[in-house]
Amino acid sequence: MVIPPEQPLSPQAYAFLANLVYERSRIQLGPDRQALLTGRLGQRLRSLGLAGYEDYCRLLESRQGEEEVGSLIDLVSTNHTHFFRESEHFAILADRVLPRLADRRGASGRPLQIWSAAASSGEEPYTLAIVLAEFARQRPHVTWQVHASDISNRMLARCRLGIYEAEKVAVPDADLRRYFLRGFGEREGFYRVRPELRRHVHVQHVNLFQLEYPVPAGLDVIFCRNVMIYFDQPSRQELLDRLVAMLAPGGVLFMGHAESLIGLRHRLRTVWPSVYLRPE
Ligand SMILES: C[S@@+](CC[C@H](N)C(=O)[O-])C[C@H]1O[C@@H](n2cnc3c(N)ncnc32)[C@H](O)[C@@H]1O
């Protein structure tokens, strides 16, 4: 028998799943998320041909279950994002942060290194790439690279592809012409980020709580937006400490507008609400 999605999870199975998700991703699933999990998992159970949640928990515990843990995290994570989300951040980056960083860098030849640490389906790292490419058009000696990462393999696949529905590509017309290709035929109604821009965006899987980050240390800019809200306070503190350690002195950390460092220990200087500078 295949269960319908509306069948309630037993408290034990829910506790097991919430615990596993927390252990692996630090995403907190409070008691209020039970309905969401039931809805999303019903479909998954059906496609795996499993009879119930208990079987699903057993699969996750088994040796073959490791890959499924990734799918479970995919199912529970919130991936909402869009181009130029919280647009003030990109204006601050272009007008205040990049000129200072580029002046300091001078003609050293070292590329500016920017990390989009919870990149979801790619709209944030490609917005960063557009801002950097525009900046570099004015200052041809500036070279740059964007690192895009996320815990969700499903989102990373979309990020690598760089194809978006036309109505979701809300970018200025000039950027649309310069950085996107319009789809034809089967791809009508979609835009793809041009390869010249995609080449600057290095996409890889990173769990923000894994032991080491495979991005270069001494980063100039980190965008870690709209992900801290899913973590508890000790996890936020741990993550903040690790992100700050990845920044070069004078580097800048961007958090989501709804996120703040209140209650967290740090030595950062506030540049603007939710934008922080690591002192030299
Ligand atoms: C709401 S999206 C934010 C996207 C983008 N930063 C923005 O502000 O538009 C949150 C992303 O964080 C990712 N995420 C959640 N927990 C994570 C973890 N432990 N490590 C890495 N990424 C994580 C999710 O997969 C999701 O894509």
The domain spanning residue 118 has which CATH number?
Answer: 3.40.50.150
What is the mean predicted confidence (pLDDT) over 221-241? 97
Whether 55 is a known active-site residue: answer no
Q: Which CATH number covers residue 35? A: 1.10.155.10
* Ligand 1 pocket, mutate which of 120, 206, 254 (most atoms under 8 A from CB): 120
Tell me: pLDDT of 4 over 60. Answer: no
pTM of the model: 0.95
- CA 230 to ligand 1 centroid distance, Å: 9
Closest C-alpha among 52, 57, 54 to residue 7 = 52
Give percent of the chain with pLDDT exceeding 70: 97
What is the mean predicted confidence (pLDDT) over 21-30? 94
From the list 40, 105, 160, 194, the catalytic residue is 40
In this structure, the answer to whether residues 245 and 180 fall within a common structural domain is: yes
In this structure, the answer to whether residues 149 and 193 fall within a common structural domain is: yes
Whether 33 is a known active-site residue: answer no
Q: Which residues contact 61 (CB under 8 A, 6 or more apart)?
A: none
267 belongs to a structural domain = yes
In this structure, the answer to whether residues 225 and 165 fall within a common structural domain is: yes
In this structure, the answer to whether residues 122 and 174 fall within a common structural domain is: yes
Q: Report which residue type is found at 165.
A: E
In this structure, the answer to whether residues 22 and 69 fall within a common structural domain is: yes
- CA 153 to ligand 1 centroid distance, Å: 11
Cα–Cα distances in Å, from 179 out to 104, 147, 173?
28, 18, 10
Domain boundary at 20, 46, 76, which? 76
Kindly report which listed range (61-65, 68-72, 103-107, 245-249) carries the lowest average pLDDT score.
103-107
What is the mean predicted confidence (pLDDT) over 32-52? 87
Dist CA 177 CA 187 (whole Å)? 17
> Which pLDDT score, from 0 to 100, does residue 169 have?
97
Residue 107 carries which DSSP code?
Answer: T
Tell me: pLDDT of 37 over 80. Answer: yes
Tell me: pLDDT of 262 over 90. Answer: no
81 belongs to a structural domain = no
In this structure, the answer to whether residues 95 and 61 fall within a common structural domain is: no
Tell me: pLDDT of 119 over 60. Answer: yes
Whole domain around residue 249: which residue ranges?
88-277
Between residues 265 and 2, which one has the greater pLDDT?
265
In total, how many domains does the chain have?
Answer: 2
